[in-house]
Chain A
Amino acid sequence: MEGHSHGFGLASPSWRANLDVVVTVLIARLKVISRYKGSLVMEMFLPVVFAAMPILLGVAVGGANAGQYFQANTGTSNFKLYMLIGACTFSVVSIMLWLVGYWIRREQETGTLESIYLAPARQVYVLTGVTIYSLLRALLAFLVSLVIGSIVFGVNLLEGNVLGAIGILMLGLLPLWGLSMLFGAFIMRVKEANSVINVMTWVVSFLMGVFFPIAMFPPLLQWVAAIFPPTIMNDAMRASMLNLSTFFGSWYISLAVMFAAALTVPLVGYGVFTFTGRSVRRKEGVGQY
């Protein structure tokens, strides 16, 4: 150390201060969204509209036998609930997957990203606050849209294990967080990525098998889809709510793969994110966009 320190003024770094960062960021984000009420409401109806299209198409094509054909490929004739779960899960995945990328982009545009990097709070705590906010928002949208969808399409949500499905959802969100940080690192590097997001949204929904089982894919693509964490989550949630078998055949394998992804993907994501942050600061700085 060169010279002597004159202290940090009113700052008092501690684990409580770190917790305070998480809570304050969460509260600030909740305040901001509470001032945009319309967007929350739209988010709850969107999965219902998203599921309505294939459901109506199925009824139009299959008529009274639609459920029967569907059962031959999926194991359940309840194609409405099958697609509703897919659409609701996909809305959670969409919110969580682009979370860090959108956060960086928004903060860059408002000029607040530099302010955040100027403060001594570690980015991981700021990101945790933002993530908890998105998680709450995603879960609220998931549950409300599921209930609205069940009323609109006349399906019974309680015929399977709903609590088990929510548990799977919570476990599946951890690798999503990691993927989100990988994508955030990409945005920090390339800045503008709207076109990439537009394309990737369709790729993700395709790989997840939002409206169909991934068993319909050719064998190689099936395995590519099966190691993609959102696909495993979607597959396990459907299995739980519709009493189906999972893609891997056994619950233990699905859970083991999900746990492995929950442990490794966030670590890899955070590592890449912090490495990219430092690399960007070596070049043009985080405020450039």
Chain B
Amino acid sequence: MSSIIKVEKLSKTFESKERKKGQRRKLKTVQALKDVSFEIDENEIFGLLGPNGAGKTTLIKCLTTLLLPSSGKAWVNGYSVLDEEDSVRASIGCMLMGDRGLYWKLTGRENLDYFGALYHVPKAVRRDRIDKLADLLHVKDFIDRTVETYSSGQKMLVAFAKSLINDAPILILDEPTVTLDVPTARELRTIVKELNESGKAILYTTHLMHEAEELCNRVAIMDHGEIIALGTPSELKTSLALDDTLDLDGVFPAKAVEAVRAVGGVTQVAMKSKNGGKTSLSIISRSGGTILPQIIEALTHNGATIEQLRPKTATLEDVFIAKTGRTLDVDTRQIVVQRGESGGGP
């Protein structure tokens, strides 16, 4: 099977201004992508996973020609993202900004017609295509109302329809199920699968591990601009086969977490906040259940309260924890704090 997207040592650096109270602005270089290489096969659903700031969106923006890479090469549908931008754009259907990217004063149908024209879909073909998409996504009831009257979920469905208007061989979907209710999200995933079965290659980013496990043939896990793991979901999870993962709910002071880290055989410990001051602790160890008593002892002797203990089979999030020692949620929260501190915009 030949590759429809090929990425070779793609890097992207940004210059950003750091503003600190009472200090002069300093220019800071941020490496958003670092020597990223991978290939996506035709007829494949390829998942990109990682916390906020991992570089997923930057990578997608480089592949869709919205950003020019600092170095490296990439080809989409056989066309270079550096030299054949128009052909790259014509090869992709894209949903990047969730429910943004629609004109709120136009109806859903008018939006689809507008973007269909921008994708060079002939007018007569557009008309039929919009009707077909309205049926497929069950948006017939509201497609002739202006977008400003839509709910978030309805906007997402029309944004998804927009990415399908040109029926391109490649579909790039960035968190397409965000803001959708559970049944609609499930239905959208079914449609994504069907689109893939009909011959489209799909690049899919998500925070939802179950979504990636359900949909993706292969997954790349990104962190700090690099791909830290790549393979089929089962390959990645099998890579943790020697390891045991354990989830605990309760209250865990910092010294208890440190004590667990010091237990022989424990490879990674990651903490996740929950509501009401409670936390959940994910522990990955190499010694199976044999060190469970030591773990419990280390926690209880250091002031931890264990409310629930669950041994579990490895998930893709455990793969991320095993590689980085962090959960996806931790990074998300850090980014929010940084934004708040700098008083940055949206």
- Chain A residues in contact with chain B, CB under 8 A? 1-14, 16-17, 20-21, 23-25, 28, 31-32, 35-36, 110-112, 114-122, 126, 278, 281-287, 289
Contact = CB atoms under 8 A, between A and B. Distances in A.
A36 B121 CA distance: 29
Interface in B81-120: 84, 86-87, 89-94, 96-97, 100-106, 110, 113-115, 117-120
Contacts of A126: 118
Contacts of B125: 10
A105 B126 CA distance: 29
B206 interface: no
B225 interface: no
Given A3-B75, A10-B129, A281-B67, A119 B115 contact: yes
Contacts of A1: 75, 78-80, 84
A204 B173 CA distance: 46
B42 A118 contact: no
16 contacts: A1-B75, A1-B84, A2-B80, A3-B6, A5-B78, A6-B42, A7-B169, A9-B90, A20-B117, A20-B123, A111-B100, A120-B86, A121-B119, A281-B66, A281-B67, A287-B97
A121 B113 CA distance: 14
Contacts of B14: 283-284
A36 B170 CA distance: 38
Nearest to B199: A6
A11 B3 CA distance: 22
Given A28-B106, A35-B146, A120-B119, A9 B166 contact: yes
Contact of B2 (A3, A112, A114, A119): A3
A5 B201 CA distance: 13
A15 to B, nearest CB: 11
A117 B66 CA distance: 7
A110 B120 contact: no
B113 A24 contact: yes
Contact of A112 (B84, B101, B129): B101
Given A9-B166, A114-B97, A121-B118, 7 more contacts: A2-B75, A7-B169, A21-B118, A23-B117, A111-B102, A112-B101, A120-B120
B309 interface: no
Interface string B1-32: 01110100000001100000000000000000
Given A17-B120, A112-B103, A24 B168 contact: no
Contact of B117 (A21, A118, A284): A21
B68 interface: yes
Q: Which of B84, B90, B94, B123 has the most CB of A within 10 A?
A: B90
A217 to B, nearest CB: 40
A35 B105 contact: yes
Given A115-B97, A116-B118, A121-B120, A11 B166 contact: yes
Given A32-B103, A112-B103, A119-B118, A6 B61 contact: no
Given A112-B101, A115-B97, A25 B119 contact: no
A3 B96 contact: no
A281 B104 CA distance: 26
B67 A5 contact: no
B166 A10 contact: yes
Nearest to B98: A111
Chain A CB within 10 A, most for which of B64, B91, B113: B91
8 smallest beta-carbon distances between A and B, as pairs: A111-B100, A24-B117, A119-B118, A9-B167, A6-B169, A17-B120, A2-B75, A120-B90
A286 B64 CA distance: 12
Contact of A278 (B2, B68, B117): B68
Interface string B57-72: 0000100111110000
A20 B125 CA distance: 13
